[in-house]
Structure 1
Amino acid sequence: MTELPAVDDILQASRTLALGASANELHGGLCGWLAAGGADVAAWPARVLADDSLPTPAPGDALDRLRQAVVAQLEDRDFAFELVLAAPGASLQARTDALFDWCRAFLGGFGLAADTRPSLSEEGEEALQDLARLAQASSDQFDSADEDEDALAEIEEFVRVAVLLLHGDCVLGARHRQRLN
């Protein structure tokens, strides 16, 4: 199952469970958690949002399908990983803000899952630092709509690749090292 639920479905499920997080924040946090080696568990919102009192999504609901899709996408050797950002048709500013919020949530999830500073490759370190810079950015920094569309597409692609790189360093690399020992 690699297809992500629709943004509106994720948002509705978040409201139903009173999570207080947008679809992009939930996806970013979950991706950060899993990329750093966090456990693939049904009760992921409690872990990712650092609140043990949060309810577990029902099997098959949008948040459960989101977890399953992210796990499958991160493990996919064809790099099928996608970002959940803003709803289709959202303005450039809304999509840009969603990407920066996604990066903030990713860093939060990554930090929660990584008990200690993970051993990252040089590229992984650089990717993590770049994600931190994006998390501090604002859509106010954009000027021209055409150039901004292109810039946003490039940033989204960078983020997608950075997540796969960090997952490779923290999860896939660790698995490979275990097999060698």
Structure 2
Amino acid sequence: MSDTINYDEFNRQLVQNKIGITAAELHGFLSGILAGGNHDESWRSLVKDMLNNGQVFDASLDEQIKNLYHLTKQQFFNENFEFELLLSSHDLFAQIDDLVGWVNHFLLGIGLAQPKINRLKDDVGEAIYDLRQIVKLGYDESDDEQELGFAFEEIKEYVRITAMLCFDEFNETDISPTIH
């Protein structure tokens, strides 16, 4: 497994296979499933159903999706907070669009893993509410790009931390052995 995913190449594979989702959106979906506590093989069926009407993927694309899933899982479990969002490195507007798509699909993934997530009232419930507001974000291409870039970085970091918060809430992350 590779330690990185080439965003542009992965997007090309998705387009070539007529999958109507970006690499950012797929990463958001997988991140939501993992953050919601789903770690069994059912994630594969969820992805196939969502992306390909339940059909098997091309072997190369299937391998890329598995790599992305395992890399994301590894990042979530890493104690150094290495989890990162997979977003385009193109212009700011493409990155903003990717972030909104990522968040939207994260909410879909976590909602499938945690169907009662709407009922949470604590920090996680508030964070989910915030993510729903982020999905509604818009911009005008005439906006000051420096200010927009600063706001984007702040929101991206908030989304990253929120994903880790959700992961911590719905996953057993204490992997140290119990001493009796």
TM-score > 0.5 by shorter chain: yes
Tell me: CA distance 1:124–1:141, structure 2 relative to 1, closer, same or farther (3 Å): farther
Please name the residue that 2:80 is paired with: 78
Q: Retained in 1: the 8 A contact 2:10–2:64?
A: yes
Matches within 5 A, 1:1-181: 3-41=3-41, 43=44, 45-46=47-48, 49=51, 51-55=53-57, 58=60, 61-86=63-88, 88=89, 90-117=90-117, 122-140=122-140, 143-172=143-172
Please list the CA deviations of residues 22-49 of structure 1 after superposition, one character each: whole Å capped at 9, or x if unmatched: 1111011111111111235372522554
Please list the CA deviations of residues 113-148 of structure 1 after superposition, one character each: whole Å capped at 9, or x if unmatched: 223338857221111111110012123398211111
**Structure 1: runs of 5+ lacking an equivalent:** none
**TM-score with structure 1 setting the length:** 0.81
CA distance in 1, matches of 2:69, 2:125: 25
Cα offset, 1:11, TM superposition:
1.2
Over the matched positions of the two proteins, sequence identity in percent amounts to 28
Aligned length: 174
3-state SS of paired residue (2:172): helix
Tell me: CA distance 1:171–1:58, structure 2 relative to 1, closer, same or farther (3 Å): farther
CA distance in 2, matches of 1:101, 1:139: 14
Q: What is the identity, as a one-letter code, of the residue corresponding to 1:165?
A: L
**Structure 2: runs of 5+ lacking an equivalent:** none
Q: Retained in 2: the 8 A contact 1:120–1:170?
A: no
Q: Retained in 2: the 8 A contact 1:40–1:71?
A: no
3-state SS of paired residue (1:71): helix
Q: Which moved more, 1:15-24 or 1:129-138?
A: 15-24
CA distance in 2, matches of 1:16, 1:40: 28
Q: Which moved more, 1:142-151 or 1:119-128?
A: 119-128
CA distance in 2, matches of 1:121, 1:172: 20
